Amino acid sequence: MAYFWFKAFHIIGVVVWFAGLFYLVRLFIYHVEANEQPEPARSILKNQYQIMEKRLYNIITTPGMLVTVAMAIGLLTVEPDILKSGWLHVKLGLVVVLLGYHHYCSRLMKKLAADECKWTSKQLRALNEAPTLLLVVIVMLAVFKNNLPTDLTAWVIFGLIVAMAATIQLYAKKRQRDKEKLLTQAVQE
């Protein structure tokens, strides 16, 4: 029964952790874009984003990470033979990368607060795709284990994921162009 409790809370932790990571970098994007606003809006927005980032990181994202890791350790203590599986080694390696991403977000948050962040909103949008890719691969490994599918269906699903990511990027570019167009029109009037 302990296995199921660990697994349930491991999944809950993963959902909370990823929700926090996805939204955190989105806040970073808004934080950087606030620099384009005139005062006093710029200062107000930047202060608000800084508060939101700290709360999200400390109250949701980091606890989600801790629950995920603690429950994974619980799963491994209940079922230690799984440590002999090759797929798990790859998954754990990707989780280490994800932990690095999590802590790098903390560094970015501090740089944004100190007005030392050199990332553009476009670069942050690309950075925001990293946990999505990690999530897809980690879940695929957890579900399929050593039998990761390589048939046509798997490639179609992979293609859909790539198309979705490309669509998001194209939409962001369209929004930016529309914004620039409106600014140009406003200046001409």
Does 10 carry a binding-site annotation?
yes
What is the DSSP secondary structure assignment for residue 58, as one 8-state letter?
Answer: I
Q: Is 105 helix (H, G, I), strand (E, B) or coil?
A: helix
User: Rounded to 5, what percent of the chain is helix, strand, coil?
Assistant: 85, 0, 15
Using CA atoms, how far apart are residues 34 and 74, in angstroms rounded to an integer? 43
CB atoms under 10 Å from CB of 42, counted, come to: 13
Does 110 carry a binding-site annotation?
no
Using CA atoms, how far apart are residues 159 and 128, in angstroms rounded to an integer? 19
Q: Which residues are annotated as a binding site for heme?
A: 10, 91
Question: Binding site, residues?
Answer: 10, 91
